A and B are shown apart, each in its own frame.
Chain A
Amino acid sequence: MSSDETRGSRLLRGILDACLLALVVERDRYGYELATALHEAGLPIVKEGSIYPLLSRLERRGLLQSYRTPAAGGPPRRYYRITSDGHRELAAAREVWSEVSIGVDAVIGRHTRDDDGGPTDG
């Protein structure tokens, strides 16, 4: 595992639950579908199975509900749907992420500009 992957996973850890809620809010989804959607969005998930503990926690907190549906030509699938508490949690997470990402962009962006331009003398 590269250090970039590790850093990405660590950064993602705190916001992955909100990402899962955001995917489920579009439509009911099952685990594999969620993992694939996260991959396709370019999120650096080291192991896709790591979404399951999060799904369990979200379900336990009443933010998601799950139900089992037979799948054609395969084992049954467990779909997840968002609850009203889940909607509220997602709205709150979006607000926090918006503030944090603006702040982080401002700080990291500033350093990038300094590095690019070299030290500035007065």
Chain B
Amino acid sequence: MADQRQTREIRRTVRRVKNYWYRAGVPRKVRRDKAEELHAHLLEAVNDGRRVEDVVGRDVAAFASEWAQAERPRPLLDVFLQVVAAVTLLPGGLALLNPWLNTALGQDDPRTGLPVESLAFLAVYVPALVGWQLVRVLRHRLTTQQAAILGVLLFIAYAVVLFPVTGWGRNTDAFVVLQPTTAWTLVIIGTAIQGLASWLKRSRR
């Protein structure tokens, strides 16, 4: 059986490996599962008279790095493409839907574009989406302190964008006219970028 010193060493090693994975961007569930697997292995190895070093080698960071690479953290490019796709698709889609929505709501406004409700939705949704994706991608690569600073900065940026846009919309009954050709172009570009992101993801498997 592993004695107290060995148990401490095992815990310390697993924690170091997990911290490395966290910074390398390995997803949380994978980190938890693999850390559990490593912990079980180390425990069994020590119980059989082997050392922690026999399992992970002398360089724990190199060991963790090799494993992290095998787990393939989500690349920044995927997130960037998905955000761009959403930011392009949403306004185009909403603009095209506007005449249909108006008809459904019994209003007589056949214009293709973004009424104040759509603008308010975009003002809330797009920065929230971008912020959330940024946090998702970067939180693995940042220390707790850096992540907290990022969170505060995003919140400030969000407030700076949100309040003026919604205030302006409420006061002016704004409507951004988008020509159907422009709206369709946005939708097509967004769909193509989303398709590219999905294809990249599949091709890496």
Contacts and interface: CB of A to CB of B under 8 A. Distances in A.
A74 B40 contact: yes
Interface string B7-48: 000000000000000000000000001101111110111001
Interface in A12-54: 30-32, 35-36, 46-50, 52-54
Given A47-B57, A48-B55, A49-B55, A71 B70 contact: no
Nearest to B40: A75
Contact of B43 (A47, A50, A75): A75
Contacts, number: 69
Given A49-B56, A60-B205, A74 B66 contact: no
A56 B70 contact: yes
A78 B30 CA distance: 13
A87 interface: no
Contact of A53 (B41, B54, B67, B205): B67
Interface string B52-64: 0111110000010
Contacts of A31: 37, 40-41
A75 B41 CA distance: 9
A94 interface: no
A76 B57 contact: no
A23 B45 CA distance: 19
Given A32-B44, A60-B72, A75-B40, A47 B67 contact: no
Contacts of B69: 53
Contact of B66 (A46, A53, A60, A68): A53
Contacts of B78: none
A74 B71 CA distance: 25
Nearest to B57: A47
B165 to A, nearest CB: 43
Interface in A50-100: 50, 52-54, 56-57, 60-61, 68, 71, 74-78
The interface centre, meaning the residue of B36, B44, B57, B71 with most chain A CB atoms within 10 A of its CB, is B44
Given A47-B54, A60-B72, A75-B39, 5 more contacts: A36-B48, A46-B57, A52-B34, A57-B70, A78-B33
25 contacts: A31-B40, A32-B40, A35-B55, A47-B55, A47-B56, A48-B41, A48-B55, A49-B41, A49-B55, A49-B57, A49-B63, A49-B67, A50-B63, A50-B66, A52-B38, A53-B69, A53-B70, A56-B67, A56-B70, A57-B70, A60-B72, A71-B40, A74-B40, A74-B43, A75-B40
Interface of B: 33-34, 36-41, 43-45, 48, 53-57, 63, 66-67, 69-72, 205
